[in-house]
Chain A
Amino acid sequence: MTAPLAGPASRKERLALVGLALFVSAGHIAHLPAWLSGLALLLFIWQGWAHWQGRPSPPGWLRGGATLGVFACVFFGIGQLTGQTAGVALLALMTTLKLSELQRQRDAEIVLLLCCFVLATEFLFSQSLAMALYLVVGLLAIITVFVYVHTLAGPGRLRHAIGEATTLTVLAIPLAGLCFVLFPRLPGPLWHLGGGEDSAAVTGLSDRMSPGAISQLARSQRVALRARFDGPAPPPRARYWRGPVLWDFADNTWYNRADGPDLASANVMAQGPTQSVTITLEARDQPWLIALDTPLSADRDYRLGAGATLIADTPINERIRYRTRSALQRRLDPDLSRAARARALALPPAGNPRTRALARRLAVDTDSHGALADRAMKWLAAHDFVYTLRPPETSPRNAVDDFLFRTRAGFCEHYAGAMVYLMRAAGVPARVVTGYLGAEPALYGDYWIVRDANAHAWAEIWQPGTGWVRVDPTRAVAPARIDHLPENGRDSVDAGGNTRANGPLTGLFYRGRMAWDGMNAAWNQWFLAYGPTLQKGLMQRLGLNSQGAGVVVLTLAGVGLLALASLFMLWRMRPARTHDPVLRAWHGVERRMARTGRPRARHEPASQWAARLAPTMPRNGPELIALAADYEALRYDPRTGAAERRNFQRKARRFRRRRL
Chain B
Amino acid sequence: MRLARRVVDRLVARGAASIARRAPRGALPLRVSPRRLYILPTRFGGVFALLMIGLLVGATNYGNNLAFALAFWLGAIALVSMHRAHRNLSGLSLADIHAEPAHAGDQLTWRLTWASKASRPRRRLAIALADARPVVCDIGASATVTAKQSAGRRGEQAMARIHIESRYPLGLFRCWAYLAPRHSALVYPSVAGTTTAHDTADAGRERTRPASVMPGEFFRGHRRYRDGDTWAQIDWKHSARRDHWLVRESEPPVTPPPAVFAYHSLGDRPHEARLSQLARWVIEAAALPGDYRLILPDIDIGPASGRAHRTACLDALARQP
Contacts and interface: CB of A to CB of B under 8 A. Distances in A.
Interface of A: 1-5, 105-106, 109, 113, 116-117, 119-120, 123-124, 127, 131-132, 135, 139, 143, 146-147, 149-152, 154, 160, 164, 167-169, 171-177, 179-180, 183, 185-191, 193, 318, 527-528, 530-531, 573-575
A4 B124 CA distance: 10
B76 A175 contact: yes
A12 to B, nearest CB: 15
Given A150-B124, A318-B63, A575 B17 contact: yes
A150 B76 contact: no
A528 B63 CA distance: 9
Contacts of B167: 150
A186 B64 CA distance: 11
A131 B44 CA distance: 28
A412 to B, nearest CB: 35
A123 B64 CA distance: 7
Interface in B31-71: 44, 47-48, 51, 54-71
Interface string B237-254: 000000000000000000
B3 to A, nearest CB: 14
Interface string B157-169: 0000000000111
A607 B193 CA distance: 44
26 contacts: A3-B136, A105-B171, A106-B44, A116-B51, A120-B67, A120-B70, A124-B64, A147-B169, A150-B169, A151-B169, A152-B138, A168-B81, A171-B80, A172-B76, A172-B80, A175-B76, A176-B73, A179-B76, A180-B69, A180-B72, A183-B68, A186-B60, A190-B57, A190-B61, A575-B18, A575-B21
A5 B73 contact: no
Contacts of B73: 139, 169, 172-173, 176
A60 B51 CA distance: 27
B317 to A, nearest CB: 26
A176 B60 contact: no
Contacts of A168: 77, 80-81, 84, 169-170
B74 interface: yes
Interface of B: 14-15, 17-18, 21, 44, 47-48, 51, 54-77, 79-81, 84, 123-124, 126, 134-138, 145, 167-171
Given A139-B70, A176-B69, A179-B75, A2 B137 contact: yes
Contacts of A575: 14, 17-18, 21
Given A109-B44, A150-B168, A176-B75, 17 more contacts: A1-B138, A2-B135, A5-B126, A5-B134, A109-B171, A120-B70, A124-B67, A143-B170, A147-B168, A147-B170, A151-B123, A168-B81, A168-B84, A172-B77, A173-B76, A179-B72, A183-B68
A172 B80 CA distance: 6
A109 B45 CA distance: 10
Given A168-B84, A190-B60, A175 B79 contact: yes
B128 to A, nearest CB: 9
B65 A127 contact: yes
A189 to B, nearest CB: 5
A116 B60 CA distance: 17
A116 B169 contact: no
Contacts of A171: 80
B65 A151 contact: no
B55 A120 contact: yes
Contact of B168 (A132, A151, A176): A151
Given A109-B171, A143-B77, A172-B73, A117 B66 contact: no
Contacts of A2: 135-137, 145
Contacts of B59: 120
A217 B77 CA distance: 44
A527 B65 contact: yes
B126 A116 contact: no
Contacts of A5: 126, 134, 136
A382 to B, nearest CB: 54
A185 B71 CA distance: 14
A318 B65 CA distance: 11
Contact of B58 (A3, A120, A152, A187): A120
Contacts of A191: 61
A113 B76 contact: no
Nearest to A576: B21
A189 B68 CA distance: 14
Contacts of A574: 14, 18
A176 B76 contact: yes
Contact of B170 (A150, A154, A188): A150
A187 B171 CA distance: 35
Contacts of B61: 189-191, 193
Contacts of B81: 168
A167 B169 CA distance: 11
B124 A139 contact: no
A4 B74 contact: no
Contacts of B70: 116, 119-120, 123, 135, 139
A528 to B, nearest CB: 5
A135 to B, nearest CB: 6
A186 B65 CA distance: 12
B68 A1 contact: no
Nearest to B47: A113
> Considering the complex of A and B, which 10 residue pairs feature the smallest CB-CB distances, nearest first?
A172-B76, A123-B66, A175-B76, A176-B76, A179-B72, A176-B73, A172-B77, A176-B72, A573-B18, A150-B171
Contacts of B171: 105, 109, 146, 149-150
A345 to B, nearest CB: 44
A135 B68 CA distance: 11
A106 B21 CA distance: 34
A152 B123 contact: yes
Given A5-B134, A117-B51, A120-B58, A146 B169 contact: yes
A597 to B, nearest CB: 14
Contacts of B55: 116-117, 120
B143 to A, nearest CB: 9
B116 to A, nearest CB: 16
B123 A124 contact: no
A59 to B, nearest CB: 27
Nearest to B128: A5
B129 to A, nearest CB: 15
Contact of B51 (A113, A135, A160): A113
Contacts of B80: 168, 171-172, 175
Contacts of B84: 164, 167-168
A189 B126 contact: no
A318 B61 CA distance: 12
B241 to A, nearest CB: 48
Given A573-B15, A575-B18, A116 B76 contact: no
Nearest to B60: A186
Contacts of A152: 123-124, 136-138
Contacts of B77: 139, 143, 168-169, 172, 176
A191 B63 CA distance: 12
A135 B48 CA distance: 18
Given A139-B73, A175-B76, A146 B64 contact: no
Nearest to B168: A150
Contacts of B58: 120
A168 B70 CA distance: 14
A549 B269 CA distance: 82
A183 B79 CA distance: 16
Given A2-B137, A4-B136, A150-B124, A131 B48 contact: no
Nearest to A186: B60
Nearest to B42: A109
A531 B21 CA distance: 51
Contacts of A143: 77, 170
A64 to B, nearest CB: 23
Contacts of B54: 117
A171 B76 CA distance: 8
Nearest to B73: A176
Contacts of B124: 150-152
A59 B264 CA distance: 65
